[in-house]
Amino acid sequence: MAKVSKKEIILSTAIKHFSNFGYDSTSLENIAQECNITKPAIYYHFKDKAALYQAVICSQFSRLADAIEKETELGSAEEKLNIYIVTFGEFLISHPTFNAIFAREIASGGHSLPTKCSQMLSRTLSRLIDILDEGKEQKRFEDENPFMIQMMIVSTLTSYNTTKPLRQKIASVLTNKTKLPEPNFQNIIESLSKKIIKGLKC
């Protein structure tokens, strides 16, 4: 088994802290303490907290864009759009800490989002634009603002994990005889995809 480098340990610890506390409330001292290293050891690999944050989340945005571009190469416009949404959702399922960070950035209007990460995120939007344009050319999709579709996808999927405590509180005090079942993320992805594609069809 390959030995995990100190830099990798810092990154894996940092993403947990940024996920739990947000950028402003994350402390390099606490990250160093959990990694059992000194704060200067972090500075050896990363210039400052901003550089560490960029390294943490830009790599995730890049992997997301790579996955979407790869998985949406083949198929009809409807199939590509479904795969786009499914790939986006499954990435968030498998990267819950990134999901939480992404949700924080959305809620803050991208307060701490580095420019480099915005460029990575624009790759996913560019792919969505291509798919929607393809659907319009094939007379399968109505004209729609890609930002609107992207917001529907991103806000629905990122809010799933972040709203879980609120859902549980509301469900616990429901007076209805039938309690609301906890939604399954896979079902949410499938339902979202069907509704968006249905709404776009000519």
Domains of the chain, residue spans: 57-200
The string of pLDDT tens digits covering residues 47-104 is 999 999 999 999 999 999 999 999 999 999 999 999 999 999 999 989 999 999 998 8
Which residues on neighbouring strands pair with residue 141, listed in sequence order? 201
CATH fit for domain 57-200, picks 1.10.357.10, 3.40.50.10860, 1.10.150.240, 3.30.930.10? 1.10.357.10
Could you write out the DSSP letters of every residue in 115-166? HHHHHHHHHHHHHHHHHHHHHHHTT-B----HHHHHHHHHHHHHHHHHTHHH
> What's this model's pTM, rounded to 2 decimal places?
0.87
Low-confidence residues of the chain: pLDDT under 50: none
Which residues on neighbouring strands pair with residue 201, listed in sequence order? 141
| Contacts made by residues 136-139, CB under 8 angstroms, sequence distance 24+ | 138/76, 138/77, 139/202
- Mean pLDDT of the residues in the chain: 90
What integer pLDDT is reported at residue 176 of this predicted model?
67
What integer pLDDT is reported at residue 149 of this predicted model?
94
What integer pLDDT is reported at residue 2 of this predicted model?
56
